Structure 1
């Protein structure tokens, strides 16, 4: 099943079939396995009809992509989780989704997707013939991507609109991006094998998602595109991105910007919502996260990553990392190195 007619080679009838995680008619088994891959939930077949549940799933860095179908009408209740966004891209059939805040929507095959928020409970009703690509995205990664694109701090969950229109240019771009990921895994392409390539691929997925989804976050993206930043602020930002490994000080940044420390602080607070050193710290933390998610060798140690990104107090680094990513740095690294082999991961 291909998501795009532009795909060069034919896709298998069932996406990611060689990465099968689940084939069952047992409701309890289906709920358990899907919860292990995605999130704890309640699965209720309508009228207690027989399931034909199938899940094929892969882990690409911090993202989980899976093909999921239940083969009968079902209702899924997903409680708040605080850690993940879920994007359900409907490939066939349809689903009806409702949030606790009263928002409701319908998705249809190859036309729309639903975004499930980390801070809301949601109900999803699947038609018997519904099949979806389910994408699980860490909250910190998606919000960090938005912060980087908008050059603004993102401290709260992103209140995406419930349904994503996949027939718009941005929506079709998201479909092509997901189809590319699926093709790479199904055909064992270079991006499924190479960690550096996957890093760029993940950023592409997140950027396409932010572009395709509607909601208040679009104002941040539009403002970043339309409103030129003060020249002094832009010089400071350029210096940070060019010299992040050198750990520039506030004195370095004011010299690069050509303004006083007070003026630079005001620019950052007004335009970005944080101080220059907070912005630098957040970038370093994301760099450390990226290094842990995509380890360059099986011998990589958390202490080496922390030091490489300028965190010399390992206890403080671990505490800061956990406060943002809701797990320890060592847990991230263990998963990336395959100690927790719940999913195939290249």
Structure 2
């Protein structure tokens, strides 16, 4: 990738059944590939990395096929059919993407079975679970304790879904034509990610949709802002509801009420979330030959055993895996 612009990466462009099946196996981890009656004519995949755990892509599977994949990891994929149709089945979730009508979302931590129809052309957005969760946290102004699970089907015939699908296509068209483009400049990437992720969360069904759609919340009281500043400045310290309330100049009961009303959590719940985020950052940045999970846990006020439990619940994997993945 050039320093000043984003470019399209041609992941694969395979012709014929043998090459097409091999490409699906190599690039998507496909298993049990079954070409359609006429065989595979072409398999093409192109992507544009947008940074921050977000990738924009385009796919084409001519003549269709059926294949399965094993779980790919903590990621979410949204597929919009431009021509043809595709059916996705994951555990008890089944969804169909049809051109101009519906898009499908896929959970990377579940086994997947995909049926892609003849002359199937699609656009996709792939993003890491942490990237989606952190973006949602910024929008709602509070920690998100559970993985963000989107409804399997997103209607794109009208309303927000249609506008988001049009936005996705517009960004792809501007980035895929090559040459010097304003959209392709590195300084535009945060804006493009913001546009695509915010639009997806506003258009899709999920348990936080109501919080995004409700009117703007009233301003946080001064004593709550003080407590938040104290936690964010020194989350490693042994804060308690009583100590935070004393520093904020209010009662423990009032402080609990403010955290529940404005952040939908408790003072200790918020403190734990901030500590987990700091620990997660340290694990990603650390050298596993010089740092241990226990050291990171103690640095942020956790006991190692409790840290492993909370971390796995928050990030969907043990902290040791994050430590070695970041190396």
Partner of 1:35: 28
DSSP 3-state at the match of 2:114: strand
- Give the CA deviation at 1:188: 5.4
Partner of 1:168: 159
1:94 corresponds to which of 85, 88, 113: 85
How many Å separate the matches in 2 of 1:158 and 1:169? 18
How many Å separate the matches in 2 of 1:92 and 1:199? 29
1:125 corresponds to which of 90, 95, 115: 115
Indicate conservation of the 8 Å contact 1:86/1:134, yes or no. yes
Indicate conservation of the 8 Å contact 2:160/2:202, yes or no. no
- Give the CA deviation at 1:231: 3.5
Q: TM-score with structure 1 length normalisation?
A: 0.66
Indicate the structure whose relative CO is greater, using CA pairs within 8 Å and at least 6 residues apart.
Answer: 1
How many Å separate the matches in 1 of 2:220 and 2:40? 62
DSSP 3-state at the match of 1:50: coil
How many Å separate the matches in 2 of 1:198 and 1:289? 23
Unaligned 5+ runs, structure 2 = 1-6
Partner of 1:61: 52
Size of the aligned set, in residue pairs, is 303
Matched, 1:105 2:93: no
Q: Which digits, 9 at most, give the CA deviation of each residue in 1:263-300, with x for residues without a partner?
A: 3235435664543354245346557767998x9xxxx9
How many Å separate the matches in 2 of 1:290 and 1:92? 41
How many Å separate the matches in 2 of 1:310 and 1:198? 33
- Give the CA deviation at 1:49: 0.8
1:244 corresponds to which of 227, 232, 235: 232
Matched, 1:205 2:196: yes
- Give the CA deviation at 1:164: 3.4
Residues 207 and 154 (structure 1 numbering): CA distance in 2 closer, same or farther, change over 3 Å? farther
Partner of 2:208: 217
- Alpha-carbon RMSD: 4.4
4+ residue segments displaced more than 6 Å: 287-293, 300-304, 313-316, 320-323
How many Å separate the matches in 1 of 2:278 and 2:190? 11
- Give the CA deviation at 1:55: 1.0
Which stretch of the first structure deviates more once superposed, 183-192 or 155-164?
Answer: 183-192
- Give the CA deviation at 1:62: 0.9
How many Å separate the matches in 1 of 2:247 and 2:174? 45
- Give the CA deviation at 1:53: 0.5
Q: Which digits, 9 at most, give the CA deviation of each residue in 1:178-218, with x for residues without a partner?
A: 63366346445566563x75345434322211111124432
Indicate conservation of the 8 Å contact 1:97/1:105, yes or no. yes
Matched, 1:231 2:221: yes
Matched, 1:146 2:136: yes
Residues 321 and 154 (structure 1 numbering): CA distance in 2 closer, same or farther, change over 3 Å? closer
DSSP 3-state at the match of 2:28: helix
Residues 236 and 166 (structure 1 numbering): CA distance in 2 closer, same or farther, change over 3 Å? farther
How many Å separate the matches in 2 of 1:236 and 1:32? 54
